[in-house]
Amino acid sequence: MTVHGRRFAWGSRSYIMGIINLTPDSFSGDGVGADVAAAVELARRLEAEGADILDLGAESSRPSAPELDVREELRRLIPAFEAVRAATNLPISVDTYHVDTAKAVLAVGADMINDIWGFRHEKQHGSMAEAVISSKATVIAMHNQRGRAHTDVASDILRGWRETTAIAEQHGIPPDRLILDPGFGFGWRPAQNLEMLRRLPELWAAQLPILVGVSRKSTLGMVLDAPVEDRFEATAAAVAIAIAGGADIIRVHEVAAMVRVARVTDAIVRANWGSV
């Protein structure tokens, strides 16, 4: 897969997605809000630290967060996106499930849409796929377990991904434009989130690249009884386990440190002693 001129050779090494929260209410406490200069400074730092992709999001995805008005989402996103695009050479992903937001950021050059509902938002079924197909964008499609009946962690994820890929196929989006996310923290109990990491190899059945986002998540805090600002080691452990389980992309806040974690984990599980 090539995105914004960068080749991603799945299976050769782990790729790092750096998080830029344009929210005032991020669960992790790192949101820069509408401060464009702060977003640019963070983007440059993450690029220097070794990020392969930047992920900009303007709406908090924590369970209690209110749905953001699209006009407000775009007010936060567009100036920051344009400034970050001018300041870095990295592929840029936009974290949104709003169709009108996706259309607007794709029009100004977003390389990826990170959809936490994987084309399956109950209010907009199919519309996100329609928005994406007219672009060249890659889609990160998450399985979101919120509001869905649970039977078995791996089976539920694979079932959700089959629904997502079926929608993509119906709209003419080829598999080589899809990346799948199992949805750590989205509708699962803590024990189920940990089970998800243990069972990642079962998800290879989807035969598409996998992104995992565990950074600073509440499940890790519950394991250590630690607040969000004290989950660094927990994140590092979960990142290493995710890579060992087959994750291709890791979405993180602390890029420099997790690049090092990924490099050592790749050396062990992929016999890869350096960047590819």
What band does 24 get if pLDDT is binned at 50, 70 and 90? confident
**What is the pairing mode between strands 211-212 and 249-252?**
parallel
Bridge partner list, 81: none
Instruction: Compute φ and ψ for 6, nearest 5 degrees.
Output: -110, 135
What band does 23 get if pLDDT is binned at 50, 70 and 90? confident
CA 234 to each of CA 53, 170, 228: distance values in angstroms, whole numbers, following the listed order? 22, 40, 10
Q: How many CA atoms lie within 13 A of 223 on its CB side?
A: 19
Boundaries of domain holding 236: 2-269
Report the C-alpha gap between 193 and 187 in whole angstroms: 9
Count the helix, strand and coil residues of the chain and give each as a percent rounded to the nearest 5: 45, 15, 40
What band does 175 get if pLDDT is binned at 50, 70 and 90? very high
CATH label of the domain that carries residue 181: 3.20.20.20
Assigned domain for 156 exists = yes
Given this model, what pLDDT does residue 2 score?
93
User: Average pLDDT over the chain, rounded to whole?
Assistant: 92
CA 98, distance to chain mean position in Å, is 16
Report the predicted TM-score, pTM, of the whole model to 2 decimal places.
0.92
Q: Which residue's structure tokens are 């089959």?
A: 162
The one catalytic residue in 76, 251, 260, 263 is: 251
Assigned domain for 255 exists = yes
194-210 average pLDDT score: 97
Model pLDDT for residues 138-166, shown as the tens digit of each residue: 999 999 999 999 999 999 999 999 999 99
Catalytic residue status for 123: no
Model pLDDT for residues 55-98, shown as the tens digit of each residue: 999 987 666 667 788 999 999 999 999 999 999 999 999 999 99
State the Cα angle at 212 between 223 and 235, rounded to 5°.
35
C-alpha closest to that of 207 among 187, 182, 180:
180
Model pLDDT for residues 112-142, shown as the tens digit of each residue: 999 999 999 866 655 899 999 989 899 999 9
Report the C-alpha gap between 78 and 82 in whole angstroms: 6
* Cβ–Cβ < 8 Å for 55, 95: yes
Assigned domain for 275 exists = no
Catalytic residue status for 189: no
Given this model, what pLDDT does residue 136 score?
86
> What percent of the chain clears pLDDT 70, i.e. is strictly above it?
92
Assigned domain for 276 exists = no
Model pLDDT for residues 30-43, shown as the tens digit of each residue: 666 778 999 999 99
* Cβ–Cβ < 8 Å for 96, 57: yes
Given this model, what pLDDT does residue 125 score?
57
The one catalytic residue in 217, 231, 263, 270 is: 217
Query: CB count, 10 Å around CB of 266?
Result: 20
Structure tokens, 64: 């209690």
Assigned domain for 121 exists = yes
Structural domain total, the chain = 1
Given this model, what pLDDT does residue 66 score?
74
